[in-house]
Amino acid sequence: MLITVQDINHSFLIGRKGKESNVPVLKNISFSVKQGEIVSIVGRSGSGKSTLLHILAGFLKPDSGEIVVKDTVTSVFNEQQSAQFRLENYGFIFQNFQLMPGLTAFENVELPLKLKGMNRHQRKDKVQQLMKHVGLQSVQDHYPNELSGGQQQRVSIARALITDPPIIFADEPTGSLDSETEQEVLELIQTLNDTRDITFVIITHDDEVAQRADRMYRMHDGILTEEGVPNAV
């Protein structure tokens, strides 16, 4: 197993000081993801999907439970260890793209390599190759506000992939796109999964998107259960 999640519980303290109450948001969550799978987590707004993703990626510590990724127990990491593990293993895709407005498409994709200290020449080759792969060559010098939503999401996918992480977490990756563009982005994810063997965990409120995955889990009020998908092999 690439990712194994065992009995995760998490609550948030909410309300005014002195009158706080503890609201359980994740209840005994267990699931697993195999190398090379696309796994979706579908559920209504407020069901706990993003909270689970934040815990998986180490942004948030669970109250209890264990997460094992690539035979490493990540749920015991401190902040610095989590950050380092993320840098090496995870890419992220968000609903609102989160591109840097002052950088071109090319520069947005290049940024993670700069942060890793790769030299200019190597960066240029790598970014150009990937931009070609995701169909962004012709718009590489555009700024984010000069790109369509679908193009912006492809830039953010390329940025997530540029450091070759084995795992991509996507939180509502098609939530801001029209249905045609949504199909294009889902096809790109499928292609990247096929050609680069990247594992995807996709969070969505949309059953149709969720059913495009190899396996699908449903989150309902903090409880996660696996469901069959129509195209399962």
Ligand X SMILES: Nc1ncnc2c1ncn2[C@@H]1O[C@H](COP(=O)(O)OP(=O)(O)OP(=O)(O)O)[C@@H](O)[C@H]1O
Residues that bind ligand X (CB under 6 A): 12, 14, 25, 43, 45-51, 205
Under DSSP, the state recorded for 144 is: G
Q: How far apart are the first and last CA of the chain?
A: 18
150 binds, among ligand X, Mg ion, none (CB under 5 to 8 A by kind): none
Using the minimum distance from each CB to Mg ion, give the nearer residue, 110 or 172.
Answer: 172
Closest listed residue to residue 38, CA positions, set 225, 187, 150: 187
Q: How many CB atoms lie within 10 A of CB 159?
A: 25
Which tokens hold the place of 120? Answer: 């200019």
Both tokens of 70, joined, read 């690539």
Going by C-alpha positions, the residue among 200, 99, 190, 103 that lies closest to residue 149 is 99
Q: Give least dist CB 211 to ligand X, A.
A: 17
Between 34 and 44, CB nearer to ligand X: 44
Q: How many residues bind Mg ion (CB under 5 A)?
A: 1
Q: Which is nearer to ligand X, 45 or 80 (CB)?
A: 45
Which residue's CB is nearer to ligand X, number 60 or number 118?
60
Q: How far apart are CA 145 and CA 187, in angstroms?
A: 24
Which of the choices ligand X, Mg ion, none does residue 12 contact, using the CB cut-off of 5 to 8 A by kind?
ligand X
Site mask for Mg ion (CB under 5 A), range 15-54, x = bound: -----------------------------------x----
- Considering the complex, what minimum distance in angstroms separates the CB of residue 2 from ligand X? 22
Dihedral, 216, 32, 70, 134 alpha carbons, nearest 10: 0
Least spacing, CB of residue 203 vs Mg ion, in Å: 7
Q: Which residue, 50 or 193, has its beta carbon nearer to ligand X?
A: 50
Amino acid at site 74: T
User: Residues in the site for Mg ion, rule: CB under 5 A?
Assistant: 50
